[in-house]
Chain A
């Protein structure tokens, strides 16, 4: 049985077109390569 109130809470307002710029700037673009590079840097720092 669906709980209407709970389901309704899951709906969030859509981003409006005026907010697109903000959405682009806030997007986290890190990928696996960035994570690996960060790990290597960390490892080198620990070795020193």
Chain B
């Protein structure tokens, strides 16, 4: 037999052991064996599904869900785990039965750790009310009862949960302790019990002594009657102070604890609802942002095509200035890659004509001595085509600056002409001007 077959055999062996344990309600044993089975073969779907069922049975629905989800991931078709998940789906929503159970259990544990045992007991009773098979909650409740010396309640809770998980070692320990303490208590009570004998006398047994009281006691003395009345009144007051008042106080305390737990539960449920609404608001905000982005992008595209169309119409009508201005408004980032070449060709044609027109206008201004106006137009030309007219635009821009007295800018543009168009006809003139200005 190959090693792999042996491994599979071990896995099946532990699965069978787990199945037997589950059948006799030994959930701890079943979980232990099924976990071992999966340690040998993680793909043992039956073992994984049964492990999930065992977790579910003891109220650990998150672990149950974990095993079933993994099971479905391993085998997505014809798998019982899918049905199990569908079945518990309504109970594992944020406000579902199991979610509330877990939240309340965690809250009770917090109360217990903080020393608020009354609150913890009230909360755990509710948990057990919702899910009577929640082993962890029942164990904690049993422990708290034992600590409060409420052994009878502890035994009741623990015996009930023993039907779900019979071999849980913690449960067995707690149950043993609670039963022993309960037996001791009963024994003490029976020691102080009174018995009525055949001759009508009443006998009290205390430790090893038997106290016998006559059946009739006659005393007609008035003083004794008065003493008895006063004694009765005192006893009545004492009973009121030591027995009734603490009872009333306890009841009031229990009621206030109950109210506090109710308020906490309401807050928890409302918090869950608020979180739900918050999630919805976040989703809707995301959707709104996505829609805004999409609208913005559509507007950008619309503006791009409008300007492109305006440019084309103006260019066809020979209105090169308008065409050039429309071109300057176009955002080149919005062009789709497929149309980039066509756009570039059109742009070059428009720019050529536009620059020609601007150069004629700037030249006219320069010749008439309107250097300020000439500068504005030459700057536009330089922006569109820095070396326009074999550097002539740069040269006359520099000249215009020099003639208006802005020598610093004139130097910048002479230098640019020398750098960018070193072989142009105006480069030599630019050099001589530059030398003169920099002396």
Contact = CB atoms under 8 A, between A and B. Distances in A.
A30 to B, nearest CB: 7
Contact of A30 (B10, B42, B106): B42
Interface residues of A, number: 25
A8 B113 contact: yes
Given A16-B62, A23-B62, A11 B109 contact: yes
A24 B139 CA distance: 26
Interface string B1-41: 00110010010000000000000000000000000001111
A4 B117 CA distance: 12
Mostly, the B contact residues are helix
A18 B103 CA distance: 11
Mostly, the A contact residues are helix
A15 B70 contact: no
Interface string A23-44: 1100101111110100000000
A36 to B, nearest CB: 7
A29 B66 CA distance: 12
A17 B4 contact: no
B65 A20 contact: yes
A8 B62 contact: no
Nearest to A23: B66
A1 interface: yes
Given A7-B143, A8-B113, A14 B60 contact: yes
A11 B147 CA distance: 15
B102 A31 contact: no
Contacts of A32: 7, 10, 39-41
A15 B174 contact: no
B105 interface: yes
Contacts of B99: 16-17
Interface in B61-97: 61-63, 65-66, 69-70, 92-94, 96
Contacts of B147: 4
Contacts of B40: 31-32
19 contacts: A2-B146, A2-B174, A4-B143, A11-B112, A11-B139, A13-B105, A13-B106, A14-B106, A17-B93, A17-B94, A17-B99, A20-B66, A23-B63, A30-B42, A31-B38, A32-B10, A32-B41, A33-B41, A34-B42
